[in-house]
Amino acid sequence: MKTLYLMRHAKSSWDHAGIPDRERPLNDRGRRDAPFMAQQLLAREIPPLDLIICSPAVRALGTATLVARELDYDTSRIQVEDELYDTDRDAYLAVISRIKRDAEEVLLVGHNNTITDVANYLSPQFVPEMPTAGIVCLHFDTLSWRNLEKDSAEFGFFDYPKNYDL
């Protein structure tokens, strides 16, 4: 059994005019929401993560780092994949297909609209547009990440910060 947590990066800042999109940092809400959502994962008593993969964008790496800290995951082990920035579903699926077989619990932090597209491709249940810091959990009855196909997941949950009074 494999479990994939798809997470949209937390809310980013638009305060720094002129910086490239890839360099936009998290804003105050993003720095609050990312660890909060990690706490919600802990409340669900998920198993320890074997791997965190994220886009190289500052806001995605910032999200992944804050989540990792809350989950007691070594931040130096976060795997940054250039293919997850400004791309499409096929690129995300290619990254997922290369995950080592021994990784059972994986968090992938990426961007919309692609992250929602991937969730809807893999899940038999419709996932509305993922808000910032939203997480979709998908389970797969497979031994290899290469075997993921359309509608091959068992839907776990869809959670996001606005489900809570923050």
pLDDT at 166 over 90: no
- Tell me the pLDDT band of 63, cut-offs 50, 70 and 90: very high
Looking at residue 15, its amino acid is D
137 token code pair:
């959990």
| Cα dist from 94 to 20, 34, 146, whole Å | 26, 25, 9
pLDDT above 90 for 96: yes
User: Looking at residue 110, what is its pLDDT?
Assistant: 98
Task: Say what the pLDDT of residue 14 is.
Answer: 86
Kindly report each contact of residues 14-22 with a partner whose C-beta sits within 8 Å and lies 24 or more positions away, as own/partner. 21/57, 21/86, 22/56, 22/57, 22/58, 22/85, 22/86
* Stretch 16-24: mean pLDDT: 90
Alpha carbon 111 to its chain centroid, in Å, reads 8
Question: What domains are defined for the chain?
Answer: 2-10+20-157 (3.40.50.1240)
CA distance 114 to 129: 10
